[in-house]
Amino acid sequence: MSPLKTRLITRIKAEGPMSVASFMAASLFDATHGFYPTRDPLGADGDFITAPEISQMFGEMIGLWCVQSWRDMGRPSPFHLIELGPGRGIMMLDMLRAANVDPAFIRAARVTLIEASPALEAVQGQTLAASPCPISWAGSLAQAPEGPCLIIGNEFLDCLPIRQFIRKREEWHERVVAIDPEDETALIFAVSPTPETLEDFTIFSDASEGDLVEICPGLAQITDTLAERFTEHAGRALFIDYGPADSEVGDTLQALKAHTKVDPLDEPGEADLTARVDFSALIASAYSNGVLPFGTQTQGTFLTSLGIEARAARLASGVSEDAKAKLARQLHRLTHAEQMGELFKAVCLQSQGLALPAGFET
Question: Which spans of this chain sit near ligand SAH (rule: CB under 6 A)?
Answer: 36, 42, 50, 52-53, 85-87, 91, 114-117, 120, 154-156, 159
Q: How many CA atoms lie within 13 A of 129 on its CB side?
A: 4
| Closer to ligand SAH by Cβ: residue 91 or 109 | 91
Q: Min. distance of Cβ 240 from ligand SAH in angstroms?
A: 8
Give least dist CB 36 to ligand SAH, A. 4
Residue 84: burial class (beta carbons within 10 Å; 0-12, 13-18, 19+): buried
Query: What's the closest the beta carbon of residue 266 comes to ligand SAH, in angstroms?
Result: 21
The residue whose Cβ lies closest to ligand SAH is: 85
Q: Considering the complex, what minimum distance in angstroms separates the CB of residue 206 from ligand SAH?
A: 32
Residue type, 354: L
Could you tell me where the DSSP H helices lie in the chain? 3-15, 20-29, 51-54, 56-72, 90-99, 103-108, 118-127, 217-232, 279-288, 299-305, 308-316, 321-335
Q: Is the peptide bond before 223 cis (omega within 30 degrees of 0)?
A: no
Give the nearer residue to ligand SAH in terms of CB position, either 212 or 273.
Answer: 273
CA distance 199 to 283: 16
* C-alpha to C-alpha distance for 313 and 317, rounded to whole angstroms: 6
Instruction: Note whether 152 and 83 are within 8 A (CB).
Output: yes
* Shortest distance, position 250 Cβ to ligand SAH, whole Å: 23
CB of 51 to ligand SAH, least distance (A): 6
Q: Rounded to a whole number, what is the largest CA-CA distance in the chain?
A: 66
CB of 320 vs ligand SAH, minimal distance in Å = 27
Beta carbon nearer to ligand SAH, 50 or 298: 50
Contacts of 242 (CB under 8 A, 6+ apart): 155, 158, 276, 277, 340, 343, 344, 345
